[in-house]
Amino acid sequence: MQYLSQTASRIAALLAVTLGFMAPAGAADLVVGGKNFTEQLILSSMTQQYLSAKGYTVDLKNGLGTTIMRQALESGQIDIVWDYTGTALIVYNKIDEKLGQDQSYERVKQLDAARNLIWLKPSALNNTYALAVPQKRAEEEGLNTIEDLANRINQSHQQNPDKKYLIGVDFEFASRPDGLEPLQALYGFAFDRSEVKQMDAGLVYTALHNEQLNVGLTYSSDGRVQGFNLKLLEDSKGFFPFYSATPIVRKEILDANPQLAEQLNALSAKIDTAKMTEMNKKVDIDQLPIAQVAADFLRAEGLL
């Protein structure tokens, strides 16, 4: 028991150092957390500005890794985050069952309720995986769905076996059990090992833009999809899980702030994949400041 207590203390101390504060309870009405990629930086900044305008004192702690943010939420060092149904199912709860959009939400909502973490209403933002091709290639090859891609790959291999049809994926997706191999099995096509280019996820967009790849694994709301004129192929067989972005709040915070759920639900209702993609583009491609992009969105939606 002493060892467990010491381990818990070390984890708490690590979280405090990572989050950059050891503030006493009540130092801020609310603490908003966020992960360390563009979309999460925008969502957390947006939430901080929105709630500040509602009269709350809000501390912003973003730029965190997924696991660190989750641990900080569970330990009470962060009060509000935006997270994704797919992440909660697969990463936090180790559930690999194929679930629909509503089923995914209801499952994670139920699981987290037991931890006193409340999932509010999901937004229409689904930041899931997607296969993308350059728009020009999509038009030339008639590619609209992953089924179209599968037919094109099989045709290419039959007509010219020596010609490579290159796909770029990150290192994890290439080897994990719910990654590239089962995707190929579901849609009935197969890449030769030499056709699979494993690379950093961000480099896939650049390689597609430079026509160094035929197809690449991307994220559906990434700003570079729009900025680099890429086409997302429809996942008509529903292989990729849903990653519905949703505000999550600790129950005691909601109990102490009766209007907070309604206020965050109003914000969530304004966000969808197209709007988020545009905001991500403004940061990643147009190089606008995150806080400005978040504020501009709030003003445009009548929330600020």
What are 16-33's pLDDT values in tens digits? 444 544 343 334 599 999
Domain with CATH 3.40.190.120 in the chain: 129-232
pTM for this predicted structure: 0.85
Beta-bridge partners for 32: 60, 80
The amino acid occupying position 3 is: Y
Report residue 55 as tokens: 């009269």
Domain with CATH 3.40.190.10 in the chain: 2-126+243-300
| Class of the domain covering 129-232 | alpha beta
CB contact burial 199-230 (16+ within 10 A = b; e otherwise): bebeebbbebbeeebbbbbbbbbbbbbbbbeb
User: Is 178 in contact with 96 (CB distance < 8 Å)?
Assistant: yes
What is residue 26's predicted lDDT score, i.e. its pLDDT?
39
Report residue 177 as tokens: 């059990």
Q: Which CATH code for domain 2-126+243-300? A: 3.40.190.10
Distance CA 47, CA 45 (A): 5
Instruction: Show pLDDT as tens, one digit a residue, over the chain (304 residues).
Output: 433 334 444 444 445 444 544 343 334 599 999 999 999 999 999 999 999 999 999 999 999 999 999 999 999 999 999 999 999 999 999 998 889 999 999 999 999 999 999 999 999 999 999 999 999 999 999 999 999 999 999 999 999 988 999 999 998 888 877 789 999 999 999 999 999 999 998 899 999 999 999 999 999 999 999 999 999 999 999 999 999 999 999 999 999 999 999 999 999 999 999 999 999 999 999 999 999 999 999 999 999 8
User: Is 59 in contact with 27 (CB distance < 8 Å)?
Assistant: yes
What is residue 98's predicted lDDT score, i.e. its pLDDT?
87
What is residue 201's predicted lDDT score, i.e. its pLDDT?
87
